[in-house]
Every structure is written in C-alpha cells, then in structure tokens.
Chain A
Amino acid sequence: MLCLSSIIFTFLALLAFAKGENCESPQFKITSYSTKDARLTAESAAQVEITVKCKNGKQPSTLYADINGQVVPCAQSAGSPGKYYLGVSAATHKQLAKGRTSVKLYDDDTYSALRKTRTDDAAKAVKPFGEVDFYHPGASFGPWLPSEFIAVIGFGLVWWAAYRERSKILA
C-alpha cells in the first residue's frame, strides 16, 4: 500500500516538475556574425548565437528558428548550455538579405502547435516563443575607386597644368 502510494506520489511529482520545465518570460541576447569581405569569400554565410535567460532558470530543451520561411532546430553547444546557434548560408553574396532580418523562435510547445496547423494563416497566428533580429551590413567588394585610379588622376592634373604653362611660355 505504502509502496503503491509512494510510486504514485513520485509520478505526480515528476509530472509537476515536467510542467515546470517550461521557460517563462524569456530574454534573448544575440551575437551575430555575417560575411563582410566579398573578395575573400565566394559565398555568404551568417551565424547567430542566441543566449536565452528564463525567469525560472530553466532552459528550453530545443529551440527552433524560422529563417527564410523554413523552421530549423538550433544547434546547442555541447560545452556551454544556454547558447543556441543558428546558421544561415547563401549561395551568392546577394542572396543573404542586407539589413535587418527578423527570426521567430519556437520552443517545443509552440513548435508542436505550429506543426499542427494546416494553413498559412493559422501558422502565422501561432504565437512564437520569441523574436530576434540580426543585422547584415552587406559584403563589401572593396573600395569603390581603386587608389591607383585616384593617383593617376591626381598626377595627370599636375602634369596638365604644367604643360599648359609650358606651352604659354613657348608660344
């Protein structure tokens, strides 16, 4: 009798703990990186590191991110918990959108709610776990005008002024 009641009690306690697993009022801090030098690299890639801080100290077991319409799970570091990584790759430099890109985050519950929806509108109506955005300044191809060009123009002007004076004297 005691054995059975203790088993039931531990089961209920486990249930209670499992319910408390959810992360409440999360706060996100992101560090993002994206390809900046277009001459050094052939393709563009970006990486967003998301640190989640929950009020009750729990960490979401999986974080999913909606990037460019596709919902992918975020990688977690085996070494440091609480950090989630999202990688984005683009085949050309232009395909990685310049400026601010908004990324919706989902945890287990919100993700399963999202998967149950059948239509696009219902999918948009699901409230995400959080939303972060990262900024891509664009990949630069180097200075607009090469410095040799400016040097040639400058010295060319000097030469032309001297030539004009010389022809005035000779004439």
Chain B
Amino acid sequence: MFYKITLLIFSLIISGIFCQTDDEESFLFVTKQTVNRFIVQDKELTIKYSLYNSGPTTVFNVNLNDIHSFPQDQFELLVGTLNPKWERINADTNLTHVVVLKPKQSGISNSTHAVVTYQKSEKNAEIQKTYSSEIGDVYIMTSREYDRRFSSHIIDWILFTAMASPCIVFPFFLWFKSKSKYELLVTKEKSAKKAQ
C-alpha cells in the first residue's frame, strides 16, 4: 500500500516536471514610462513603451492599445500612435515605441496600464493578454509655474530696465548738462588766459 502511494506521488511529480519543460513559452514584458522630469500643461509629454520578448520563441501579432489612458479631450497626440502593432517580435529582442502628447489641462491625472495582446505561435490563434506597467498619478503643472522656474526671463528684465531707467537717466542727464556747461566754461577761461 505504501509502495503504491509513493509510486503515485513520484509519477505525479515527474509528470509535473515534464509538463513544465514541454511548454516553451515566451512572455512579453511591457513597461510604460515617461522620460519627462516635469509634466507641464501645453508642453510635450513623452511616453516610452519598452517591449521585451523574454522567451525562446517568437511572438506574433502584437497589438498595444493605450487609447483609454490618454483621452482626446485631455491630451493632444503629437507624434506616434497610441495603438501600434507589430507582426512579429523575435526572441530576446527589446523594442521601444515613443509617443508624444501634449496635456491640455493641469492638475492631477491618472494614467493606467496599457493593454497588449499577442499570439504565442503563428498557428495557434489563442490570444494572450498582458498589461504594461503604469505611470500612476501625475501632477501636471501649469505653464506659469514652469516658466517661473525655467524660462529665460529676458522680457521681464527688459521691462524692469524700462521702469528703472527714469530713476537713472534723469539724474544722469542733469549731471551731464552741468558737466558740459562747466567744461565749456573751463575751456573758455583757458583760451581767454592764453590770449592774454
């Protein structure tokens, strides 16, 4: 009796091991990141999707859908597409897809996972669905806040000079007038003395 049970358990374990090694499956890992340090309203927001095929086989018919994360009324699509597809991704390759958006509103915005579907083999039409990583809650600052820190402020300085110039130019003008009158007098005296 004991013999039979151990044989059964042993065979179950062996079959378990064999079942695992029979299936050589590839997995597609997708990460979604932003390269921006700050997300600013009306400035470019670059999203980078990295797809990595870790497995030993090629995956087919890869379709990435992220249209739901960036609705048209809140984000304007500048470059790239939010729904790219690849016919095949070879084993052990790393792919990047770049999308550039422009946020139209400021405040806190949440962006969820992108949905990626792919087929593990060309013949098997079974679709595997996987989710990318998410960026989560981000704060979109207004363009005024960003400009306060980073713009070149040249216009501000020009305005400041224009407003400060009466304070400087008016006394300078008085001094210059009296100086030129004094120098004129001195040269007149000198020439008069020389004539004498």
**Could you list which residues of chain A lie within 8 angstroms of chain B, going by C-beta atoms?**
31, 33, 35, 37, 39-47, 49, 61-62, 72-80, 83, 85, 87-89, 142-143, 146-148, 150-151, 154, 158, 162, 165
Contact = CB atoms under 8 A, between A and B. Distances in A.
Contacts, number: 117
Interface in B123-152: 146, 150, 152
Given A44-B35, A77-B81, 12 more contacts: A33-B78, A40-B44, A41-B35, A49-B79, A61-B87, A75-B85, A87-B48, A87-B95, A89-B50, A150-B157, A151-B160, A165-B175
B11 interface: no
Contacts of A62: 86-88
Nearest to B155: A147
19 contacts: A33-B78, A33-B100, A40-B38, A40-B44, A40-B146, A45-B96, A49-B79, A62-B87, A72-B93, A73-B87, A73-B88, A76-B86, A77-B85, A78-B85, A85-B81, A85-B84, A89-B48, A143-B152, A151-B160
A39 B46 CA distance: 13
Nearest to B168: A158
Contacts of A73: 86-89, 95
B96 A88 contact: yes
**Interface size range on B against A:** 35 or more
Nearest to A115: B90
Given A62-B88, A85-B84, A147 B152 contact: yes
Interface in B64-90: 78-81, 83-89
